[in-house]
Chains A and B, each alone.
Chain A
Amino acid sequence: MQAVKYARAESVEEAVSLLQDGGAGARPLAGGTDVIVQARERTRDIDVFVDIKHISEVVAIEHGSDGSLTIGAATPCYEIYGDDSIAENFPILVDSTSLIGGTAIQGRASLGGNLCNSSPAADGIPSLIVLEAQVEIAGPNGRRTVAVEDFCTAPGQNVLDSGEFVVKLHFPAPAESSGARFLRFIPRNEMDIAVANAATQLRLDADGSVAWARVAVGAIAPTPLLVADAAAAIVGQPLSEDTIAAAAAASSAAARPITDMRGSIRQRVHLAGVLTERTIRQAAERAA
């Protein structure tokens, strides 16, 4: 391991100050399942870890009386999928958090860490996008909030400035008759990185037509993508084979993937459509 130092922050202010003092080589430490590997393998230049897990709001799950949800950025996956209210009201977060790594990774890895690692193939981010999550960031100039679809800017890159870190994620209450689903394609059943992934949230009207929808696709572009055209293809009418096919085609059209060891451009473009179709169908089942 490169000579990395460790500092434990007891408050948001202390974390910001430690990150500022540490400069470009300082990284917040949540579950460490990405950054410790990156420090060891020197794929990121890290010389100070600022442990943010001893700040209560960074590891808390809060359910608002209006049905909204706030998850501390460093809350580990297993606490998220083990939360009965999340399982009932935000099952798409269970889809994502129970697929990130294996059990031992889920004991540490967090949605905030998954977001800040900013991998194009992150299994948490498409779900955050379709849930319209807002990212609360603390920094030297106080706090600011960013829509999650605007957070990642390139592979491994995001909007965080020096001294800033993600404190928590805010989720609006799910509307009546809405449902959301995340799916990932990998060649085995578990413990792999997405060849492609996708999420859909939609709301059904009383007459069965789709009143509102969001579709996001991952591992098919430099960042996870919100695909507005895919949602537009299904909104305003009942779901049909035609509208679902149009949404799938929109996701494939939005995809601009690379070929790598996990999959080819052609396979990923195809998968963007297939996963869009399946998440729409399964989100609709959950909405019904």
Chain B
Amino acid sequence: MATEHIVVNCTINGENTTFLANERDSLLEALRDRIGLTGAKEGCNNGNCGACCVNMDGRIVNSCLVMAAECEGTEIGTVEGLASGDQLSPLQNAFLEQAALQCGICTPGFLVAAEALLEQNPDPSEHEIRYWLAGNLCRCTGYDKIVKAVQQAAGQSVV
């Protein structure tokens, strides 16, 4: 069946954005291939790994499981929106200081997810951090450092 190109109007990282997508595109494909925001990564493309995690209307979603056409009128936040110019966010700095990344493929998803956690729960317990981030997989298995980075960003003492 022929699908058509569609025009989608939304807000991405605070900027009004209009983009052209194919009707069959996922939000992840639209971000990476149409808009040029390649921060969100394609890991599994079926909702298991969390590498494509973005913020949509205040909640985190797997962008591989959102149709681009669904984004009309929504507010999307990606990893590119975390820093202000050259100024990294406290969470991003904490990831650097705690060496919370190895190959880095999972990092954008972890950052977007952890940022959303801290927004709604500024002082999470270790259990709450691990539970919230359960949908983000790190094949380098650096989970302890990631959890410590989130704790540092929350202002908690990190051993």
Binding site for B on A (CB under 8 A): 1-6, 8, 29, 31-33, 36-37, 40-41, 47, 49, 51, 53, 76, 78, 101-105, 107-108, 189-191
Contacts and interface: CB of A to CB of B under 8 A. Distances in A.
25 contacts: A1-B25, A1-B26, A2-B24, A3-B1, A3-B24, A33-B47, A33-B65, A36-B26, A40-B46, A41-B46, A49-B67, A51-B67, A78-B59, A101-B47, A103-B113, A103-B116, A103-B132, A103-B134, A104-B53, A104-B60, A104-B113, A104-B135, A105-B62, A105-B135, A189-B134
B70 interface: yes
B62 A104 contact: yes
Interface residues of B, number: 36
Find the residue from A4, A6, A31, A37 having the highest chain B CB count within 10 A.
A6
Contacts of A102: 50, 133-136
Contacts of B6: 6
A249 B25 CA distance: 49
Contacts of B48: 191
B11 interface: no
A47 B26 CA distance: 15
B75 interface: no
Interface of B: 1-4, 6, 23-26, 45-48, 50, 53, 56, 59-62, 64-67, 69-70, 72, 113, 116-117, 131-136
Given A47-B1, A102-B136, A37 B46 contact: yes
A36 B131 CA distance: 25
A103 B67 contact: no
Contacts of B60: 103-104, 107
Contacts of B24: 1-5
Nearest to B70: A51
Contacts of B53: 104
Contacts of B70: 6, 29, 32, 51, 53
Contact of B69 (A3, A6, A40): A6
A191 B2 contact: no
Contacts of A1: 24-26
B131 A190 contact: yes
B47 A37 contact: yes
Given A102-B50, A105-B47, A191-B48, 13 more contacts: A8-B72, A32-B65, A36-B64, A36-B67, A37-B46, A40-B45, A40-B46, A53-B70, A78-B59, A103-B132, A108-B62, A189-B134, A191-B135
Given A32-B65, A37-B65, A190-B131, A107 B23 contact: no
Given A47-B1, A104-B113, A6 B67 contact: yes
Contacts of A2: 24
